[in-house]
Structure 1
């Protein structure tokens, strides 16, 4: 039989091949049977067996911790993804709300501008109408005039009219007799 010397193997970096965490029940012996304390008077093979068992227990613990750390990393990654999705959803909702508010403000500003321009237009239109009325009256007054006189007696009506249009003057003189009934 060949003796295994512990110094021939670098067992510090070796990991068990199984991806699942193993327990002592997987090997058919109870943990209390394999735990030994270090005794300097123990024979050399027993000391080597204790070192191998200690390494194996350490490897199992390291593998269990590695699996736990990997699972924790997966859970953390999933949680970060969910938080990122939630933040993106909130950001989009805030952007949409902001967009709706901006649209409402722009629409309201547009209505106010339209109302102010319409009010100004109506005032200007009213002023134009007033100016047109006065202008027409003024041009009519400057262009020509109409004056006259009449004389009323019991038997006749005498009229004298003078119409002036710019440089032209028209004079009308007429006498209208009344019919006398006997």
Structure 2
């Protein structure tokens, strides 16, 4: 009898212990899963922030490049127009110098440069 009671008690203790171990194992597994989920959410957030930052930097660089290109084209067009006007002035002066009497008339020029236009006025003044 005593032996049977000991065996029954031992079986109860072992069952309780196994159940506790199972509960501990499940609790441990749940805790590990929760930690991994937290880490994954944090990682996704960081990756999303990196993508946003990269997109913003790419957009900023693209806009800067466009503005720079527009500026260079405007500058080149104004320079080209200025060279055209300068060339025309040189041609007019050359013709006037060699084909007319220098003491009879005088050339007077006036140039106005704005951000969008280049204006040049030439007057022939008789003495």
TM range (shorter): 0.5 to 0.7
TM-score, length of structure 2 as denominator length: 0.68
| Structure 2: gaps spanning 5 or more residues | 105-127
Q: State the partner residue of 2:86.
A: 134
Distance 1:85 1:64 in 2: 31
Matched, 1:69 2:18: no
Distance 2:73 2:61 in 1: 18
Q: C-alpha offsets along residues 29-84 of structure 1, whole Å, 9 cap, x if unaligned?
A: xxxxxxxxxxxxxxxxxxxx323222221111111010111111111222222222
From 44, 64, 72, give the equivalent of 1:112: 64
Distance 1:128 1:111 in 2: 26
Distance 1:147 1:138 in 2: 15
The secondary structure found in structure 2 opposite 1:63 is: helix
Task: Flag the structure with higher helix content.
Answer: 2
Distance 1:131 1:67 in 2: 95
Q: State the partner residue of 1:28.
A: none
Q: Which runs of 4+ in 1 moved over 6 A?
A: none
Report which structure shows greater RCO (CA 8 Å, sep ≥6). 2
The answer to which of 68-77 and 110-119 deviates more is 110-119
Q: Kindly tell me the number of residue pairs found equivalent between the two proteins.
A: 101
Superposition RMSD on alpha carbons, in Å? 2.0
